[in-house]
Amino acid sequence: MDVRTFTVGQIAENCFVIRRDGADRALIVDPGDEPDRILGAVDELGLGIDAILLTHTHFDHIGAVAPVAEATGAPVYCPEIEVPVLANIMSFTPPPFGPFESYDADETVSGGERLELAGMEIDVVFTPGHSPGHVTYSIPDERALFSGDVLFQGSIGRTDLPGGDGPTLMESIRGLVEGFPEETTVYPGHMGITTLGAERATNPFLTALAR
C-alpha cells in the first residue's frame, strides 16, 4: 500500500492519501487543513479520489473537507452521530482557529460496515471515547489501521473534550489491541506511525490493559 502523510494545520494533524501500490484511485483520510497542499499532491501524483474518510469531526481533522470534496468530487464518509458537527464546523471550533467551511456528509458510518473503495476493502470499527462517534478504518489486506485520535505513539487520545470518556476510550483501545494482529501498522491522527505490538509493549497508557 502507498501511504502519503501530510501533517497539516496548527495542531499538526496527519492527513493520509492512501492507495494500492501503483493504483491511480486513492482515498483521503481526515483532510484537516491546508487543502491546497493536499490537492496539489493529489494532482502531482495524478490520482483520482474515490472517497474522503473521516475518523471524527474535531476541527483539526475536518478543516479542509469542504474544499477537498469540492475539488475532487469525492463523497465524504462521516461518523453518523457527528454529522451535525461537520455541518456546522465553526460552532465547534474554538478561537483563534478557522475559519473553516462546513459540509453536509454524503455517507455515514457507525461501525460494522465493510466499504469497497479505490480497489480496497475497508472495515469500519466503532472506537468512541475521544469523541462520541469516532471510528477507525481497518484495511485487513494491508494490516493497517487509520485510527484518528484513539491511540498514539506513546500516548492516547484526550478525553476531556465534549463527548469524551476515559473508560470508553480504553475499551476502544482494548478492542484494537486484542482484535488485530500485533504487526498491524497504526496510522494515527497526530505524531508518528507505529504498530499495535510496539504500543502494547511500550505505551505507558496501555499498562492498564495488561493481562
Which chain residues interact with Fe ion by CB under 5 A? 58, 149
Least distance CB 158 / Fe ion (angstroms): 7
Closer residue to Fe ion (CB): 19 or 130:
130
Minimum distance from CB of 164 to Fe ion (Å)? 9
- The cell for 97 is 482557529
Nearest Cα to Cα of residue 146 among 11, 12, 8, 13: 13
Cα atoms in the Cβ-side hemisphere of radius 13 Å centred on 144: 18
Which three-class secondary structure state does DSSP give residue 210?
coil
Distance CA 122, CA 141 (A): 9
State the distance between the two ends of the chain, measured CA to CA, in whole angstroms: 33
- Looking at beta carbons only, is 19 or 58 nearer to Fe ion? 58
Closer to Fe ion by CB, 50 or 199: give it.
Answer: 199
Q: How many residues does the chain have?
A: 211
Nearer to Fe ion, 19 or 56 (CB): 56
Closest by Cα among 181, 195, 100, 77 to 92: 100
Min separation Cβ 130 and Fe ion, Å: 6
Least spacing, CB of residue 161 vs Fe ion, in Å? 7
- Least Cβ distance, residue 23 to Fe ion (angstroms): 29
Angle between helices 35-45 and 65-72 (to 10 degrees): 30
User: Which is closer to Fe ion, CB of 67 or CB of 129?
Assistant: 129
Query: Which residue's CB atom is positioned nearest to Fe ion?
Result: 58
